[in-house]
Amino acid sequence: MEHLSEAFDKLRKELTDALVVCRVRATPRAVHRLRTAIRRIEALLIGIQKQHAQAKLLTGTIKRQMRRQRDIRRPAGGVRDYDVQLKLLRRLTSPVSKQKENGGKIADDENQLASELNAQREKAAQFLQEVLASDELRIEKGLQKINDVIPGLRSTGSPPLSLALEWARKARHKMSRLDKDTLHEFRKSIKGPRYIAELDSSPTARAFAKELHRVHDAIGYWHDCVVLAKNATSCLTRQSPLVDLIRNERQKALRNALSISSSFVLRA
């Protein structure tokens, strides 16, 4: 793994760049980069607290920084949800919108739903940019304050992979059962281990990060289908063939997510 100060400085620059780009224009790519940068630096900050005894001096600073970043990550997540739903909607309707049976109705319903999602996305993006304009400077100052202290920290010796494995083990053991009511929480609990594992350059760490990514993506796709089905149901009529199409995809995604997640948990 690269030196801690180098790793943090790299992530700090990624986040500050993402803040500026997203504040100017909250495109889907910019919002995704912002959320990913926040998640990665949060995982590293947690790792710093766990592996560096001297980090106790930074406890208050890190807590404030995490809180500020959370206040941005949440509205960014709202925008990202709309982007993902729009992309999923296009993917699901593209193969069937030109079919003779129900194709025209699906295309009409797609346009109606996409219009509603785009309108909501625009409002969410505007709110995100307002939050960024208000909090950007405080976040950058907090990052710089932590960055100034990190070079003097001494590690307890555990590599990032060890922390990631332990973090993931606890996430696994917390899951008394895996079903549609617990999958999303499980997905959130393995984000940190994944980002920590990515800081370790060993082949074992890369393989573990890839495995976590696979579980994360499978559950994430199912959750995207759940949200899209909910929005489609509220926007369209109950007789809409598009609603049926999305619900069918949701069920397939659930079976796949449970299969992949269960295999991961059982290997604990």
| Judgement on whether residues 142 and 163 belong to the same structural domain of the protein | no
Average pLDDT over residues 71-91: 96
Residue 117: the pLDDT is 97
| Judgement on whether residues 27 and 124 belong to the same structural domain of the protein | yes
pLDDT for residue 1 is more than 50:
no
Residue 132: the pLDDT is 96
Under 8 Å CB-to-CB from 105, ≥6 apart: which residues? 240, 241, 242
Contact status, residue 4 vs residue 48, Cβ threshold 8 Å: yes
d(CA 96, CA 267): 39
Residue 57: the pLDDT is 66
Q: How many domains does the chain have?
A: 2
| Judgement on whether residues 162 and 51 belong to the same structural domain of the protein | no
Confidence of residue 216 (pLDDT cuts 50, 70, 90): very high
Name the percent of the chain lying above pLDDT 70: 91
| Judgement on whether residues 29 and 144 belong to the same structural domain of the protein | yes
pLDDT for residue 162 is more than 80:
yes
State the residue range of the domain holding 70: 1-155
The overall pTM is greater than 0.85: yes
Residue 209: the pLDDT is 93
At 133, is the secondary structure helix, strand, or coil?
A: helix
Average pLDDT over residues 247-255: 97
Alpha carbon separation from 242 to 16, 91, 102, 122, 230 (Å, rounded): 40, 12, 9, 23, 12
Average pLDDT over residues 127-146: 93
| Judgement on whether residues 21 and 147 belong to the same structural domain of the protein | yes
d(CA 232, CA 52): 48
> pLDDT by residue (tens digit) across 222-236?
999 999 999 999 998
| Judgement on whether residues 9 and 74 belong to the same structural domain of the protein | yes
Name the percent of the chain lying above pLDDT 90: 59
Contact status, residue 141 vs residue 65, Cβ threshold 8 Å: no
